[in-house]
Amino acid sequence: MCDKHPIAPPPDAAQTSRRRRIWELSHTCHCPLIGVCIPLGALRKLVGKVAGGKVLADDYEVHVGAVSECGTRNRLSEAVQKELERRFATVIARFRAARTTEQLAELWQGAVASGDVAGAFWAGLSHPRCAPELEEKMCRDLHMIQHQAGACTRADLHRFNAVVDENASLTRELAKLQQRNAAMQLERTAEQDKHAAALMQLRAQLVGRDSIIDSLRQELEQLRNAIPGLETRERLAQRLAQTDERERALRGQIADLRKLLLQAQAQLEAATPAVPAEEADVPPAVVEHIIRLPIRLAERNVLCVGGRSGNVSTYRAVIEKAGAQFAHHDGGLEDNAGKLEASLAAADLVICQTGCISHSAYWRVKDFCKRTGKRCVFIDNPSISSLQRGLQELHEA
């Protein structure tokens, strides 16, 4: 695989303080040393660098070739030696404190107990006080650790696959619950809209009846004031009786309408079930809030991009209340995305609902307003209160 240099002579008694090189270790140490201490990616990079090209061999062939080359001193074994020294410099410095084989064995046992054996394996094998018996024991310990790690990995993989299957099942169940919840929310919203319309109609009828009663009372008062100069007391008494009769009839109608209003309110409360907070992903029914907008919005064109479709009518009421002209584009969900540019050009002020808008429409709005210098208000939450806060900040700016 690489150009080989002459084999270095074994260390004698005068060199016992020098740490051993990888090619000076026994061949039985090379396989676990390469497999445990150097990740496969780093080993491939070293082999490719020494070979001067891309390594086409598979992982096993790279490992076997590196183990074989580390038996002698050559370019690859020297590169592996440098990589091990660089990677485990801290552990080597800690093991250098061992002065005897017994102290070295204690450091190795401590590494085995803590589970961090890669650096300790190289630092122990290369230590000058590593006796053959300790070298054999370290290789045997590492062999058993590899077996245990493999068994743990298989058990973890089995548990991981079980968790993945359970997660997939829970995900499907969650999707079904979310669909069911969305359908229930839509049904509840439709029912609320229906009852709200009925309440508005009843309230309008009550207002009309109250107006008639007030008119009749004013007419009665005028008649009473005009009694001396217009009609005799008998005719006035007759008209007063007729007026009282009419007022009683109207009061009866008002009482009936109030009963109907109370019944409608009770039906509305009964048809609105309590929804837990964790399941309620749809906001409550929209309540119109009127705010004071800046005077400069009067007779201006205000374009609202994005937002929930159910809130558009409320957006319109808030904007038009200030005398501005309201326009809406849903950001390409249903409206033609090509019309967005024309809507932006016609607007004097743009309100961008960033929480309910496509990414494409968001960037088109931002780019257009930046190029043209047109004022744009970005609102994160598509609620009426967030719209109020955004316009209030615009008013104070």
Contact 12, 20 (CB under 8 A): no
**Averaged pLDDT of the chain:** 79
Predicted confidence (pLDDT) at residue 290 exceeds the cutoff of 60:
no
- List residues bridging with 376 in a β-sheet: 350
Predicted confidence (pLDDT) at residue 13 exceeds the cutoff of 50:
no
Query: If residue 325 lies in a helix (H) or strand (E), which one and from where to where?
Result: strand 325-329
> What per-residue confidence (pLDDT) applies to 295?
42
> What per-residue confidence (pLDDT) applies to 195?
92
Query: If residue 204 lies in a helix (H) or strand (E), which one and from where to where?
Result: helix 132-225
Predicted confidence (pLDDT) at residue 308 exceeds the cutoff of 50:
yes
Q: Nearest Cα to 349, choosing from 290, 314, 393, 286?
A: 393
> What per-residue confidence (pLDDT) applies to 292?
42
Confidence of residue 9 (pLDDT cuts 50, 70, 90): very low
Give pTM, 2 decimals: 0.34
Predicted confidence (pLDDT) at residue 390 exceeds the cutoff of 80:
no
For 157-203, how does the pLDDT look when each residue is reduced to its tens digit (9 = 90+)?
667 777 888 888 899 999 999 999 999 999 999 999 999 999 988 99
- List residues bridging with 327 in a β-sheet: 303
Question: Can you give the C-alpha Rg of the chain in angstroms?
Answer: 44
Confidence of residue 228 (pLDDT cuts 50, 70, 90): low
Separation of alpha carbons 58 and 19, rounded Å: 33
Q: What is the mean pLDDT of residues 31-42?
A: 87
- Percent of the chain whose pLDDT exceeds 90: 11
- List residues bridging with 301 in a β-sheet: 325
- Residue 17 burial by CB count (10 A; 0-12/13-18/19+): exposed, middle or buried? exposed
Q: Nearest Cα to 304, choosing from 320, 295, 316?
A: 316
Q: What are phi and psi of 9, to 5 degrees?
A: -65, 150
The separation between the first and the last C-alpha atoms of the chain, rounded to the nearest angstrom, is 74
Confidence of residue 294 (pLDDT cuts 50, 70, 90): very low
Confidence of residue 323 (pLDDT cuts 50, 70, 90): confident
Separation of alpha carbons 268 and 263, rounded Å: 9
Tokens 């201490």 — which residue? 37
